[in-house]
Amino acid sequence: MIEVADVRALASAFDWIECLALALLGATLLSACAPADSNVEPPADPSPATAVNAPASGSTPPPSRASVIRPGQDDPPPVWQAAQAHGDPTATVGAMTLVATASGIEWINDSEGVSSWSPDGRFFAFWEMGEDVYRPAYGYDSAASAGGTLRFLDQDRGEICTSRRQVGFSFWTNGRGALRWSADGRVILDGLVGWPCGDGFMAEPSATAGSADGELSPEGGFQVLDRSAVGDCAAHESELREAATGRLIVELAWKSESYKDAPCGVAARWVDEGSYLIPETIDRGPVLLSASQGAIALAESFVPEQEAHLLTSQALMPVDGRPAILIWFRMPGRPLRLYHLSSGELEVLPFERFLAASPDGRWLAVGESGAPESREAAIWIRPVSAAGEAWTPIRGEGLLPQRLRWSPDGARLAVAGPASVSVYRTPDGQREGVGSTLPFGAGGDEPVWLGPWSPDGIRLPVAAVSGQRTGLYVLDSTALELPR
């Protein structure tokens, strides 16, 4: 018995044979093969956009010449060809929408405000990695494994476009430095600025220079000068001065690990108006340059000098104005410590592993061994603001503590699991819902990777593995449901 689907398949095959014959007679293949009811125009450039039915954000579209293509009707980029093996790539299941597949998919791992999302949350930048680039990436020479095709997901238009200017993704730096965003939502690539799905890139306007004498404190009352020795990027001399008079308050000579990918091996920053954190030094561990107390070696009370190089730290700056500094070892078996700037108290935490702090600085997620009172959960959260705050467990089957993402406002915590993403709310740790990467996930037991939340805290990129393919999903947190 001949099914309707078989008839459609035969008709489609005859249509393609006919269009190829027309192409041999001089007709354009694209126009010859387009169905009569198609309103698709031939693309004006080799960078077509792929319709993916992405949720709209409501912002005004920028100028763009990217053309929409339809699966099976136009000449698609490799993303369509790869996705067809796994069903409809635009299908939405619950809160999850599969938008692309490739041998590998990468994005910028957000750090120090660097993200794959445009400031308005409209565009998400990602790289499709071919097998010739992606497979060796985790082999013998990861430093040389840079490349891939830069694409942008346009949330407003529900399209994917290929960037008209290409910059590679480097596994050595996790994509940092590959692209930046201007405040108006344009992308900056190799010093040229333009709309992600448009052309007409032009030279980036020169930015207003900062203080020539050093990095100013948040209110401008102080400044820090950091000098590195000629020929030795790991050797530093830091000076904290009054900004108005230049009066020297405190100076410190110190050394950092030179292999770090931050400039000259350090990512120091202001914690508040009078406190500047050097997160790690070889001989003293984390050091706080204080306008009122001088140089404070935060770990000298519990770590001998010969172990100071094993420590690192991160400034946590809650919106309530009570900052703290989290200190941890790069090796297991030592508890975390939290230094509270307002009181000077050094709190010992009943955990050994730091997982993540919320971007707003209010919440801390830790995990695994040493859970207080019991080990009923792999992840625990608590507020940062004061010592002795209660811990809240995050419960769920198969959660992966090393793969979690806080929303920008700290209101949600997404945690990866096998072929799924669970989203929890703070402060009570209740699960809001689960997004599944099935049927793409192979067997339902493959772990997933989480990208950075969109600036509005609504959408979350998710990468799932199926055999030798990786699928890029977008989770819509407004459509989450609990499993029944």
| pTM of the predicted structure, to 2 decimals | 0.75
CA nearest to 272, candidates 324, 339, 343, 332 = 324
CA nearest to 363, candidates 403, 317, 329, 395 = 317
CA nearest to 167, candidates 188, 181, 139, 195 = 188
367 within a domain of the structure (yes/no): yes
Residue ending a domain, among 351, 377, 395, is 395
CB atoms within 10 A of CB 48: 22
87 within a domain of the structure (yes/no): no
382 within a domain of the structure (yes/no): yes
Distance between start and end Cα atoms, the chain: 39
Average pLDDT by consecutive 10-residue portion of the chain (484 residues)?
37 40 36 35 38 43 36 34 36 74 85 80 91 54 65 90 89 78 90 89 64 74 82 80 95 76 64 94 93 95 90 88 91 90 93 90 80 66 91 87 90 90 92 82 71 93 86 90 72
29 within a domain of the structure (yes/no): yes
Residue ending a domain, among 366, 395, 424, is 395
CA dihedral for 393, 399, 401, 403, sign (positive or negative): negative
Q: Using DSSP, state whether 180 is helix, strand or coil.
A: strand
State the residue range of the domain holding 367.
317-395
Residue 308 DSSP label: G
Q: What is the predicted pLDDT for the residue at 28?
A: 34
Per residue in 156-172, is it b (16+ CB within 10 Å) or e — as a string?
A: bbbbbbbbbeebebbbe
Q: What is the predicted pLDDT for the residue at 66?
A: 36
341 within a domain of the structure (yes/no): yes
**Six-digit token pair at 331?**
């090796």
Half-sphere exposure of 279 (CA within 13 A, CB side): 20
Long-range contacts of 385-392 (CB under 8 A, 24+ apart): 385/318, 385/320, 385/322, 385/324, 386/322, 386/340, 387/338, 387/340, 387/343, 387/345, 387/347, 388/347, 392/426, 392/427, 392/428, 392/429
**Beta pairing class for 49-51 and 68-69:** parallel
Count of structural domains, the chain: 2
138 within a domain of the structure (yes/no): no
**Six-digit token pair at 454?**
């969109």
Residue type, 396: G
Please provide residue 99's backbone torsions phi and psi, each rounded to the nearest 5 degrees. Answer: -110, -20
Cβ-count burial of 289 within 10 angstroms (0-12 exposed, 13-18 middle, 19+ buried)?
A: buried
Q: What is the predicted pLDDT for the residue at 67?
A: 34
At which residue do the structure tokens 């060809």 appear? Answer: 81
Q: How far apart are CA 266 and CA 110, in angstroms?
A: 17
Residue type, 235: A
333 within a domain of the structure (yes/no): yes
198 within a domain of the structure (yes/no): no
Residue ending a domain, among 365, 395, 425, is 395
Rg (CA), the chain: 26
